[in-house]
C-alpha cells in the first residue's frame, strides 16, 4: 500500500473515533521535520476553543499582552516585529479572538475571551506502511523522541512487525500495525510517555563523523507545542485537492478514490491529462468540514465570543 493511501486511511480511522487529526505538520523547533500524522487529544476547555473560530489562531496574538479586560494600544502589546504584530492583530480580529476600536486615530485591541487550556496529549505518528523500505526512519524517530514535542510517538505500518524491526527503533516509540481494509489497529508495542515539560534535544543534522544537535528549553518547547496544536486544529487532514476527473469518486470519509486506478489518488502526482483514465470534469464537491464536525469536537461554524460594545471594529 502506498504511503499516501495508508496515511489517509489511518487519519479517517482515527477521526471516526472522535479524535482531532491532522497531517503533514512541521514538528521541529530549529530544524526541519514534518510529522506525517498528528493527533491532538481534547483538553478541559476544548469547547471554549471551538467556540472562537475553526481556524488557527496566530501565535503572536496568543502570546501578546492583550487580555480580555481594558483595550490596549496594539503596538504596546507585542514583543515582535511590527509587521508580524500587525498581521496577528488583523487575523485575530477576523477570527474572533480580538476586538478592535479606534481612539484618536489609534487602534486598540482586547481579547474577546482568554486563550483556553484546550488541548491535552499530542501524539505524533510516523507512517511507514512498508518496513522493507525504511528510509531515514530510525533517525526521524530518534529526533522525535529526544525532542519530545509530542507526548507520545508512534510508528504505524501495514507490514508484519518482527522483533528485529522493534529493536531497530527507539524503545519509547509505540508500534501499530494498521489494516486499512478492516480499519483495525494491532498495537505491537505501547508508546512510552515522553517528558514534554522538560528541555529537549533536537537533532539537526547527521554526518559520518559528526551529529549536530541543539538544546530546546522547556518554555520554547511549550510554545512549539501550542503552535503545533493550533495548526492541527485549523488544518485538519483533508488538506489535499480533489482531481478534476469524472472517475474520482470520494468515499464516505472524503478520501479521493479513483475508479480507474482502483485506489486513492493524490491529485498533484496521479491525475491529469497524461493519465490514461482521465475524463475531464469538475472536481467532486466534498464537504470535509461537515464530516469533521460530525465526528470530532471541532466546530465548523461557531457562534464566536465577540462582545457587542459601542465603538468596536469601527474604522474611519
63-115 tens-digit pLDDT: 999 999 899 999 999 999 999 999 999 999 999 999 999 999 999 999 999 99
pLDDT number for residue 313: 43
For 61, 82, 213, 293, the CA distances from 115, given in Å and listed in that order, are 10, 22, 33, 21
pLDDT number for residue 289: 96
**Share of residues in the chain with pLDDT > 70 (%):** 96
**Share of residues in the chain with pLDDT > 90 (%):** 87
Quickly tell me which residue has 522493534 as its cell. 166
d(CA 274, CA 247): 14
pLDDT number for residue 316: 33
Q: Which residue has the higher pLDDT, 315 or 200?
A: 200
Q: Which pTM was predicted? A: 0.92
Could you tell me how far CA 194 lies from the centroid of its own chain? 19
The residues that bridge with 72 in the sheet, in sequence order, are 109
Q: What is the DSSP string of 154-210?
A: EEEESSPPPHHHHHTS-TTSEEEEEETTTTEEEEEEPPPPP-TTS-EEEEEEEETTE
Is pLDDT at 305 greater than 80 in this prediction? no
Torsion of CA 201, 230, 222, 93, to 10 degrees: 130
14-68 tens-digit pLDDT: 999 999 999 999 999 999 999 999 999 999 999 999 999 999 999 999 999 999 9
- CATH 3.40.1350 fits domain 3-45+117-235: yes
Average pLDDT, the chain: 93
Is pLDDT at 311 greater than 80 in this prediction? no
163-173 tens-digit pLDDT: 999 999 999 99
The domain ranges of the chain are 3-45+117-235, 58-111
pLDDT number for residue 60: 97
103-156 tens-digit pLDDT: 999 999 999 999 999 999 999 999 999 998 887 899 999 999 999 999 999 999
Quickly tell me which residue has 480499519 as its cell. 183
Give the pLDDT mean for 167-191.
Answer: 96
244-302 tens-digit pLDDT: 999 999 999 999 999 999 999 999 888 989 999 999 999 999 999 999 999 999 999 99
Amino acid at each position: 500500500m502506498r504511503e499516501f493511501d495508508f496515511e489517509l486511511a489511518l487519519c479517517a480511522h482515527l477521526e471516526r473515533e472522535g479524535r482531532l487529526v491532522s497531517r503533514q505538520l512541521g514538528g521541529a523547533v530549529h530544524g526541519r521535520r514534518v510529522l506525517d500524522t498528528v493527533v491532538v487529544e481534547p483538553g478541559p476547555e476544548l469547547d471554549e476553543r471551538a467556540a472562537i473560530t475553526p481556524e488557527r489562531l496566530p501565535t503572536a496574538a496568543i502570546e501578546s499582552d492583550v487580555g480580555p479586560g481594558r483595550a490596549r494600544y496594539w503596538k504596546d502589546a507585542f514583543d515582535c516585529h511590527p509587521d508580524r504584530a500587525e498581521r496577528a492583530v488583523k487575523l485575530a480580529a477576523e477570527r474572533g479572538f480580538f476586538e478592535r476600536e479606534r481612539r484618536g486615530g489609534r487602534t486598540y485591541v482586547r481579547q474577546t475571551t482568554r486563550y483556553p487550556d484546550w488541548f491535552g496529549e499530542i501524539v505524533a505518528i510516523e507512517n511507514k506502511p512498508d518496513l522493507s523500505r525504511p528510509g531515514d526512519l530510525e533517525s526521524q524517530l530518534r529526533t522525535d523522541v529526544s525532542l519530545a514535542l509530542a507526548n507520545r510517538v508512534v510508528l504505524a505500518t501495514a507490514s508484519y512487525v518482527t522483533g528485529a524491526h522493534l529493536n531497530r527503533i527507539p524503545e519509547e516509540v509505540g508500534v501499530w500495525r494498521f489494516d486499512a481494509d478492516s480499519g483495525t489497529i494491532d498495537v505491537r508495542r505501547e508508546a512510552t510517555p515522553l517528558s514534554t515539560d522538560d528541555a529537549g534535544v533536537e537533532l539537526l543534522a547527521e554526518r559520518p563523523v559528526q551529529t549536530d544537535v541543539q538544546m530546546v528549553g522547556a518554555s520554547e518547547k511549550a510554545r512549539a507545542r501550542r503552535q503545533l496544536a493550533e495548526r492541527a486544529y485549523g488544518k485538519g487532514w483533508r488538506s489535499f485537492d480533489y482531481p478534476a476527473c469524472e472517475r474520482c469518486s470520494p468515499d464516505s470519509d472524503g478520501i479521493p478514490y479513483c475508479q480507474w486506478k482502483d485506489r486513492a489518488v493524490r491529485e498533484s502526482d496521479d491525475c491529469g491529462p497524461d493519465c490514461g483514465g482521465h475524463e475531464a470534469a469538475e472536481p467532486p464537491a466534498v464537504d470535509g468540514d461537515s464530516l469533521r464536525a460530525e465526528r470530532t469536537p471541532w466546530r465548523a461554524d461557531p457562534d464566536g465570543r465577540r462582545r457587542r460594545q459601542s465603538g468596536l471594529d469601527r474604522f474611519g
